[in-house]
Amino acid sequence: MTKRYANMAIVYAVIAMVFGVFYREFTKFSDFTGQTRMSVMHTHYFLLGMIFFLVLMLAEKIFAFSDRNAGRFLIVYHVGLNVTGLGFLMRGLTQVWGTELSRGLDASISGIAGIGHILTGVSIILLLLKIRKCISDVRSWSVCAL
């Protein structure tokens, strides 16, 4: 499982770099000089993608907490992170293009990013609780430790 976490860290590092280059080049190509939500995609994918999975890899190496439920939480995490990224991308594209949004469409884009944040947050809490249970369960400590 640690190799899977390492691979996911690499994937998210590449995604973060792609979005960083896309943001810079797209705004330059569009002659856009203002603020846009696309600027945070780069850091979100680095921190919540690459760094998160590097830390998870280390935690797995130390505590061996991964099982079927951890895999389910990670699926929710991936969905949440990428839905959040989609919300940022949609918001940023409309900002760069100067698109006037109806109140409903504006709220929808915010809602998409919000749902992604909620899914990501809930899955992080569930994973932390799983790791805590592994640490505090005396009977499984031998399973959790190296």
pLDDT at position 143: 53
pLDDT at position 28: 94
pLDDT at position 47: 96
pLDDT at position 138: 47
Round to whole Å and give the CA distance between 21 and 23. Answer: 5
How far is residue 146 from each of residues 55, 62, 117, 135, measured CA to CA in Å? Answer: 17, 6, 33, 12
φ/ψ of 30, rounded to 5, equals: -90, 5
pLDDT at position 145: 47
Alpha-helical regions (H) of the chain:
2-29, 41-45, 52-63, 68-97, 103-136, 141-144
pLDDT at position 108: 95
pTM for the predicted model, two decimal places: 0.87
Per-residue confidence in pLDDT tens, the chain, 146 aa: 889 999 999 999 999 999 999 999 999 999 999 899 999 999 999 999 999 999 999 988 888 888 877 888 999 999 999 999 999 999 999 999 999 999 999 999 999 999 999 999 999 999 988 888 888 764 555 555 44
